[in-house]
Structure 1
Amino acid sequence: MYKIKPPFRADHVGSLLRTPEVKESRMKWKRGEISAEELRAIEDKGIAETVKRLESTGMKSITDGEFRRDYFHLDFLKELAGVTVTGGIDANPNAKAAEDGFTPPKVSVTGKLKHVKDIQVDDFNYLKQVASCTPKVTIPSPTMIHFRGGRKSIDINSYPDMDEFFHDLSQSYRQEIDALYKSGCRYIQLDDTNLAYLCDPKMRAAAQERGEDPNELPRTYASLINSVIDGRPDDLTVGIHLCRGNYRSTWFAEGGYEPVAEVLFNNINVDAYFLEYDDERSGDFAPLRFVPNNKVVVLGIVSSKSRELEDPDDLRKRIDEAAQYMPLENLCISPQCGFSSTHHGNDMSHDDQWRKIELVVNTAQKVWGES
């Protein structure tokens, strides 16, 4: 039976639209017009105001909106020794305009991986000061260092043996999570695009071209994630969010969860899964039949990509459909992704964002009767 709290019946993935002041100040900092200390003070103010607004909706899961990041993953990964961020990847085929045909730079491993400093601890310490409800820290899944480039993106001299690479990667993550726990963090979410990308036939074919086995990769990634989180304290909740791309309301992959479902739900020892289910790209709910009774699924049925507000009755029907495959008491709901996976933000206003979050909270209250 589901007894985990968090996640909450109404939850959210993490990133929120930056305030205009935070966006403008980050650009000023990049141009050298203000110092890092000045930028952080402005971010502090924006986070405090946004946390207050988020809590006013009734949301119990509180993040800093990822206001201090350019990208949901790069700002974290580049702080690990041995990681290099360079160039870009192929243009996004789903971009809505020419100027959006831009995608994040590549991550490669150019030396020995090592956790040389706490990455999210200072940010968490500020968040817990300004949050009245449960603070959540979102960090990129450790798989994010491997999938896009595979073996070719990992320096052969540093890591002639891939087992050693996975060992050092795991150790680096364990040290960061341990530091967060010691600071009081009890809710962590791993953001993982790769397991969702392995649901897409084109992405699977591309992995094969890189010399990877798309049928074996989910097991490899399950082992990696477990090596990071196994043995964690009982009061630390760890969830994983699967994403098919979210840059400025666009996407990169499509396909239902069936190709990875059995391994995803039974071989990865997380407490909860935040799953995109906002449109047909994510397939149907049938893969949820593999979810064991001690785990939770947070249904991302409210889109963070479009301004249009979903119909509450339609949302309740979709929850009922999902409950045909697993117990209703093991389900929660959320937006399908963050609202600003990069500093640019998705194609909606702040008012649109808050209406979406309020809809999630109100729907959860009607379905489960919990405030």
Structure 2
Amino acid sequence: MFIRSSNVGYPRIGEKREWKKALESFWNGQINEQQFIKTMEHIRLDSIRKQVEKGIDLIPIGDFSLYDHMLDTAFMFGYIPERFQQIDNALEQYFAMARGTNGQHALEMTKWFNTNYHYIVPEIGQTKPRLVENRPLKEYNLVKETFDLETKPVLLGPITFLLLSKQYERHEWRKHLAQLVPVYVELFKQLSEAGVSFVQIDEPILVQDIDDDIIDAFRHVYDVFHRDVPNINLILQTYFDSVSHYREIVALPVAGIGLDFVHDDGENVKNINIHGFPKDKILVAGIVDGRNVWKSSLVQKAKLLHHLANVAEQLIIQPSCSLLHVPVTTKHEHTLPTELAGALSFADEKLDEIRMLTEYMNGNVTIDQLIKYDEQTNSYLAKFRKQQEQTNDISTVPLSRTPYNERKKAQQAHLQLPLLPTTTIGSFPQTSDVRQARMKWKKGEWNDKQYKSFIKNEIAKWIKIQEQLQLDVLVHGEFERTDMVEFFGEKLQGMACTTNGWVQSYGSRCVRPPIIFSHIAYQQPMTVEETVYAQSLTNKPVKGMLTGPVTILNWSFVRDDISRKHVLMQLALAIREEVLQLEKEGIRIIQVDEPALREGLPLKKEKHASYWKDAVMAFRLATSSVKEETQIHTHMCYSQFEHMMHIIDELDADVISIESSRSHGELVSSFETYEYQKEIGLGVYDIHSPRIPTKEELSEQIERALRVLRPEQFWVNPDCGLKTRKEEETIAALQVMVEAAHEYRERLLAYGGMKSWK
């Protein structure tokens, strides 16, 4: 058996975020469209060149994007909402859908399955799809001309695309599918005529709990593909978990089936052992973890590959999913301890692992070479394993507070907040001055005193701005923080931060997830100095701003040989210590953000209860030790909240703020069926769009919320932090927000009280 190597997808951002810089330069008018397209083409071709040098046999094309792959698919098939159709320039239209314009709101954005990647949610209305441009063919031809190389086009499958899109008439998705399938056939025919052999078609919806109607749709769609385009070898690609309906899926008329053998909890192997694997198909085995940064144990992977090779007659080796979810390369990491750096594997290093495993299976690498590779990682991990196994006694830590109605009275007596209080989520613009100051400090050009003085000046400036805007609850702005998780990764024992370990989160926004390598422990106050200083400048309450334990866990790279629950409880205890330090210093509103609360939710429903139990326990462990007059807030964004209102309630936070602006307040409908008693801020405008909202828009959002929420429950705030916005955008948008809130406050008072409002 000759075994080949493959890749599912490669990071878009470039080794040093060249992609991000090009995007933002184009948006800011620093480069024109021609320069932008040329730069992006260079980045795209450079990623292909690197994969060629790594010796990968099947290199993906079409995985590169100017913003997001779901948006690319919608744009390619002509799903352009009517509000954007008047824009003539295609690139301007594309980015308007992602970011909005001064006249029109952007498409919604939400998490890609259980990852920290945010995708743009296409709107499927009554538009009939058409092939606007065959993007995979265009890229295939470009790479063939440049490298004389045959590649593997990558497409998002039609069923996953439609089920993850926004359909105003959900029951009509089969009608939309019937319209879309012929367009895919047209695209495949063009690829076939160009000489394309393999096409990867991603259908990750297959790892979720799906019903018979969806399985029936898969049978029909892939029968059509097989009948109408017989010369294309389709690889049906899944990832992030085991496939549901295994026997039905492997019976589909495709050339290969891509399965995740890393995040499947052994289910894919179990199904293969029980039901076998078709002899006429290629088993495309996701062996190397595409979502974590630790080196693989190649000896263990080799054992699994031998087993799979005995079952399948054709085998391809690849990562478990696209490498979009890990940094590009470790070669720029010069500040990590040598032992830690030696145990890490980013995208480029994972391709090396794929090549080694492929060569081993083809007889060109010995088992001794695999053993030698593993020894370095194993010796390092052994050093920290005992530390990580330390346990913490949580039996004496409170997991509940006094009843909400009792502590609400104490909080209002202490805080004296007005009706419809206004606030922001936490961060303010990280300007070039802020970034340059941090860089000077890190390089040693500034000492601690100079840097702290700069940070205090920024805090004072924005406290004054917030008071001038007449916000009711202020924040210090988080100017000392690069990122809401990375900041805590730098402060807590057992965590490390990279220099260049960037991963795309959404659009041009990139983050550097910390690495959890050992026992997590609180060392010293992390946020107290800046928060207390901000509070000293104003009589209005200033929120203490913390990141919650679930989000730190889900947005970090955690060792895969230790219990995530164990790490989660260590993080909760560390955040609890900071909460108590803030309270001790007189901070009476403390926000513990959990934007990634839902993100870690397993894709299979049978595993949900255990995850939610641990998540709720961790949050309450971190927040339940405060006095009743201390108000606990939390914030969540860009997830599907309507199915988890009971979990949000169980967190027992006094105030939650939730993103709802991109969904135009549709989350409000959740409160028509779930009677939520605590306080809530539904984000009234989208901070990810550069446009300034109008007062009429925000008034409509407030009006919609007050139809189902009591006025004494409702807070008015943006939908997320403001660090990515410009100062002038931030001030203008907040001014509109405060004016809208004040108008409604006056109307409520004019009604003679809250009870008569409705």
Residue type at the aligned position of 2:616? A
Give the direction of change, closer, same or farther, for the CA distance of 1:183–1:243 in structure 2 (3 Å limit): same
Q: CA deviation at 1:303?
A: 2.1
Pairing partner for 2:542 from 110, 117, 135:
135
Q: CA deviation at 1:315?
A: 2.1
Residue type at the aligned position of 2:534? L
Q: CA deviation at 1:20?
A: 5.0
Aligned to 1:332: 715
1:191 maps to 2:599: no
Please tell me whether the aligned partners of residues 665 and 704 of structure 2 are also in contact (alpha carbons under 8 angstroms): no
Aligned to 2:32: none
Aligned to 1:201: none
Query: 1:182-216: CA deviations, max 9, x gaps?
Result: 11111111122212536xxxxx5xx449x993554
Please tell me whether the aligned partners of residues 110 and 155 of structure 1 are also in contact (alpha carbons under 8 angstroms): no
Please tell me whether the aligned partners of residues 256 and 283 of structure 1 are also in contact (alpha carbons under 8 angstroms): no
1:68 maps to 2:480: yes
1:277 maps to 2:660: yes
Aligned to 2:452: 40
Give the direction of change, closer, same or farther, for the CA distance of 1:90–1:22 in structure 2 (3 Å limit): closer
Q: Equivalents in 2 of 1:225, 1:302: separation in Å?
A: 27
Give the direction of change, closer, same or farther, for the CA distance of 1:282–1:85 in structure 2 (3 Å limit): farther
1:263 maps to 2:647: yes
Q: CA deviation at 1:52?
A: 0.8
Q: CA deviation at 1:164?
A: 4.3
Aligned to 2:516: 109
Number of residue equivalences: 334
Q: CA deviation at 1:316?
A: 2.3
Q: CA deviation at 1:285?
A: 1.3
Give the alignment of 1:90-105 within 5 angstroms.
Answer: 90-92=503-505, 94-95=506-507, 100=508, 103-105=510-512
Secondary structure (helix, strand or coil) at the match of 1:234 reads: coil
Pairing partner for 2:607 from 190, 194, 213:
213
Please tell me whether the aligned partners of residues 634 and 653 of structure 2 are also in contact (alpha carbons under 8 angstroms): yes
Secondary structure (helix, strand or coil) at the match of 2:622 reads: helix
> Taking structure 1 as the reference length, what is the TM-score of the superposition?
0.80
Q: Equivalents in 2 of 1:212, 1:184: separation in Å?
A: 43
Aligned to 2:558: 153
Please tell me whether the aligned partners of residues 186 and 235 of structure 1 are also in contact (alpha carbons under 8 angstroms): yes
Aligned to 1:178: 580
Aligned to 1:123: 530
Aligned to 2:226: none
Query: 1:271-326: CA deviations, max 9, x gaps?
Result: 01111111128843122242532x10112112222232223233222222223332
Pairing partner for 1:10 from 419, 422, 434:
422
Q: CA deviation at 1:257?
A: 1.2
Give the direction of change, closer, same or farther, for the CA distance of 1:197–1:291 in structure 2 (3 Å limit): farther
Please tell me whether the aligned partners of residues 14 and 138 of structure 1 are also in contact (alpha carbons under 8 angstroms): yes
Residue type at the aligned position of 1:191? D
Q: Which has a greater percent of helix?
A: 2
Q: Equivalents in 2 of 1:353, 1:225: separation in Å?
A: 30
Pairing partner for 1:352 from 722, 729, 745:
729
Give the direction of change, closer, same or farther, for the CA distance of 1:194–1:223 in structure 2 (3 Å limit): same
Q: CA deviation at 1:14?
A: 1.0
Aligned to 2:670: 287
Residue type at the aligned position of 2:578? E
Q: CA deviation at 1:128?
A: 1.8
Residue type at the aligned position of 2:619? I
1:364 maps to 2:758: no
Please tell me whether the aligned partners of residues 222 and 268 of structure 1 are also in contact (alpha carbons under 8 angstroms): yes
Q: Does 165-174 or 353-362 show the bigger shift?
A: 165-174
Q: Equivalents in 2 of 1:142, 1:167: separation in Å?
A: 8
Aligned to 2:343: none
Q: Does 222-231 or 309-318 show the bigger shift?
A: 309-318
Please tell me whether the aligned partners of residues 548 and 575 of structure 2 are also in contact (alpha carbons under 8 angstroms): no
Q: CA RMSD in A?
A: 2.8
Secondary structure (helix, strand or coil) at the match of 2:497 reads: strand
Give the direction of change, closer, same or farther, for the CA distance of 1:36–1:291 in structure 2 (3 Å limit): farther
Query: 1:69-105: CA deviations, max 9, x gaps?
Result: 111221123311112234646534x42xxxx3x6212
Secondary structure (helix, strand or coil) at the match of 2:632 reads: strand
Q: CA deviation at 1:148?
A: 4.3
Q: Equivalents in 1 of 2:644, 2:463: separation in Å?
A: 35
Q: Does 23-32 or 268-277 show the bigger shift?
A: 23-32
Give the direction of change, closer, same or farther, for the CA distance of 1:163–1:43 in structure 2 (3 Å limit): closer
Aligned to 2:618: 224
Q: Equivalents in 2 of 1:351, 1:106: separation in Å?
A: 29
Residue type at the aligned position of 1:360? M
Aligned to 2:629: 235
Residue type at the aligned position of 2:446? I
Secondary structure (helix, strand or coil) at the match of 1:225 reads: helix
Give the direction of change, closer, same or farther, for the CA distance of 1:360–1:291 in structure 2 (3 Å limit): farther
Q: Equivalents in 2 of 1:109, 1:281: separation in Å?
A: 37
Q: Equivalents in 1 of 2:546, 2:606: separation in Å?
A: 25
Secondary structure (helix, strand or coil) at the match of 1:33 reads: coil
Task: Using the aligned pairs only, state the percent identity.
Answer: 18
Q: Equivalents in 2 of 1:213, 1:83: separation in Å?
A: 27
Q: Does 189-198 or 109-118 show the bigger shift?
A: 189-198
Give the direction of change, closer, same or farther, for the CA distance of 1:155–1:115 in structure 2 (3 Å limit): farther
Query: 1:54-79: CA deviations, max 9, x gaps?
Result: 11110121211101111122112331
Secondary structure (helix, strand or coil) at the match of 1:284 reads: helix
Give the direction of change, closer, same or farther, for the CA distance of 1:310–1:44 in structure 2 (3 Å limit): same
The answer for unaligned runs of 5 or more in structure 2 is 1-404, 750-758
1:313 maps to 2:726: no
Give the direction of change, closer, same or farther, for the CA distance of 1:122–1:104 in structure 2 (3 Å limit): same
Q: Equivalents in 2 of 1:24, 1:223: separation in Å?
A: 40
Q: Equivalents in 1 of 2:513, 2:592: separation in Å?
A: 19
Give the direction of change, closer, same or farther, for the CA distance of 1:282–1:323 in structure 2 (3 Å limit): closer
Q: Does 267-276 or 138-147 show the bigger shift?
A: 138-147
Higher RCO (CA 8 Å, separation ≥ 6 residues):
1
Q: CA deviation at 1:176?
A: 1.2
Q: Equivalents in 1 of 2:734, 2:427: separation in Å?
A: 12
Query: 1:322-361: CA deviations, max 9, x gaps?
Result: 2333223211111111110xxxx33xx3122111111221
Secondary structure (helix, strand or coil) at the match of 2:491 reads: coil
Please tell me whether the aligned partners of residues 111 and 155 of structure 1 are also in contact (alpha carbons under 8 angstroms): no
Q: Equivalents in 1 of 2:719, 2:536: separation in Å?
A: 28
Residue type at the aligned position of 1:153? V
Please tell me whether the aligned partners of residues 73 and 139 of structure 1 are also in contact (alpha carbons under 8 angstroms): no
Q: Does 273-282 or 229-238 show the bigger shift?
A: 273-282
Secondary structure (helix, strand or coil) at the match of 2:717 reads: strand
Give the direction of change, closer, same or farther, for the CA distance of 1:15–1:215 in structure 2 (3 Å limit): same
1:23 maps to 2:23: no
Q: Equivalents in 2 of 1:164, 1:21: separation in Å?
A: 40
Q: Equivalents in 2 of 1:304, 1:43: separation in Å?
A: 23
Give the direction of change, closer, same or farther, for the CA distance of 1:107–1:241 in structure 2 (3 Å limit): same
Please tell me whether the aligned partners of residues 57 and 361 of structure 1 are also in contact (alpha carbons under 8 angstroms): yes
Give the direction of change, closer, same or farther, for the CA distance of 1:179–1:90 in structure 2 (3 Å limit): closer
Secondary structure (helix, strand or coil) at the match of 2:510 reads: coil
Residue type at the aligned position of 2:741? A
Residue type at the aligned position of 2:554? F
Give the direction of change, closer, same or farther, for the CA distance of 1:296–1:148 in structure 2 (3 Å limit): same
Asked which structure has the greater CA Rg, the reply is: 2
